[in-house]
Amino acid sequence: MGAVIQARHVPVMVDEVLEALRVNPGSVYIDCTVGEGGHALAVLEAVSPAPGILGVDLDEESLNIARERLNGYGQRARFVKGNFADLGAICAQHGIPAADGALFDLGVSSLQLETAGRGFSFSREGRLDMRFDTSQELTAYDLVNKGGESELVDLLREFGEEPRPGRLARAVLRARPIETTLELAEVIARASAPSRRTRTHPATRTFQALRISVNRELDNVRLGLEQAVHALRSGGRLVVISYHSLEDRLVKNFLRREAAVCICPAGTPECICGHRPTLRVISKRVKRPSPSEVRENPRSRSARMRIAERL
């Protein structure tokens, strides 16, 4: 027997996830970002007999860890390498007509951050990569070294919310070719305007922007949320954990729209949209990890959870 693969990622807000999903025996849940299987394992252990769970992820390395961790649950735990933007087709292929809950944990895993060769971290030396799915062609290296100034400015402004994207873009162009994560982090640090000390590295927003662009994260989240709604039975729960303002704003606006009776533009004298709400927002206030969890797992500090129920 081979060595047991050790998971490195600590799942965020586990108790809150279980409460939000209302885990029951005989139910079926979809972990749309199963990663190393932390949340999926908690769902399976929550009740007896264990429910069924379908774990979806683009990262083959993480999936292998999840498969091994949950191997003892047999067919109750199934896994598929895929994009949650294709959730409808994935559910159809695996015989899930209506699920009791769907979970999205949109963060980058510890495995991805700590594996230098994956190129996600500005504190570890590695080639600029940042692909969740290592079989795709586009990498962060391509964006950094082949894009024009205007493309870099747009990327940094839209996906990194950088206050001075032009300054950083020009610094990148002057320094090209940039091969590694540490080289890029140094270029950004030198080009960043001096400011009061903050807890975040100057390259944080730049690396976020590149990662989002490489993996088309925001487009995929939009598609994934839309398909998750259709994958849920009436009363099924949709639980989403995001980690930065772009994601959280997208999720909040999606839930608000799907819960609305009318989505006509403001000022329309009479409703003509014909929209029918599909969700009920469980709590209008975002849920955050407890202070004790943040102390034990500092990476959880930016997590924001939103919950809705299928009508």
Q: Are residues 94 and 211 in the same domain?
A: no
Number of domains making up the chain: 2
Per-residue pLDDT at 247: 97
Per-residue pLDDT at 2: 41
Is position 2 within any domain?
A: no
Q: Are residues 211 and 228 in the same domain?
A: no
CATH number at residue 173: 1.10.150.170
Write out the chain's pLDDT in tens, 311 residues: 344 455 567 899 999 999 999 999 999 999 999 999 999 999 999 999 999 999 999 999 999 999 999 999 999 999 999 999 999 999 999 999 999 999 999 988 888 888 888 999 999 999 999 999 999 999 999 999 999 999 999 999 999 999 999 999 999 999 999 999 999 999 999 998 665 456 688 999 999 999 999 999 999 999 999 999 999 999 999 999 999 999 999 999 999 999 999 999 988 999 999 999 999 999 889 999 999 999 999 989 999 999 999 99
Is position 191 within any domain?
A: yes
Q: Are residues 192 and 231 in the same domain?
A: no
The alpha carbon dihedral of 96, 97, 101, 105 has a sign of positive
Q: Are residues 121 and 201 in the same domain?
A: yes
Query: Alpha carbon of 94 to those of 28, 50, 78: distances in Å?
Result: 12, 18, 9
Is position 130 within any domain?
A: yes
Domain that holds residue 192: 112-215
Domain boundary among 197, 215, 233: 215
Per-residue pLDDT at 283: 87
Q: Are residues 97 and 231 in the same domain?
A: yes
Domain boundary among 192, 215, 238: 215
Domain boundary among 170, 186, 215: 215
Q: Are residues 159 and 302 in the same domain?
A: no
**DSSP-derived secondary structure for 78-141:** EEEE--GGGHHHHHHHTT-SSEEEEEEE-SPPHHHHH-GGG---TTS--BS---SSTTSS--HH
Q: Are residues 226 and 99 in the same domain?
A: yes
Helix (H) or strand (E) holding 169: helix 165-175
Per-residue pLDDT at 10: 86
Give the strands of the sheet with 28-31, arranged side by side: 77-81, 52-57, 28-31, 99-105, 232-242, 304-310, 279-281
Per-residue pLDDT at 7: 56
Output the pTM of the full model.
Answer: 0.93
Is position 1 within any domain?
A: no
Three-class SS state of 148? coil
The alpha carbon dihedral of 254, 260, 266, 270 has a sign of positive
Per-residue pLDDT at 109: 85
pLDDT tens-digit series, residues 203-230: 999 999 999 999 999 999 999 999 999 9
Per-residue pLDDT at 198: 61
Q: Are residues 253 and 133 in the same domain?
A: no
Q: Are residues 221 and 105 in the same domain?
A: yes
Is position 9 within any domain?
A: no
Q: Are residues 79 and 221 in the same domain?
A: yes
CATH number at residue 66: 3.40.50.150
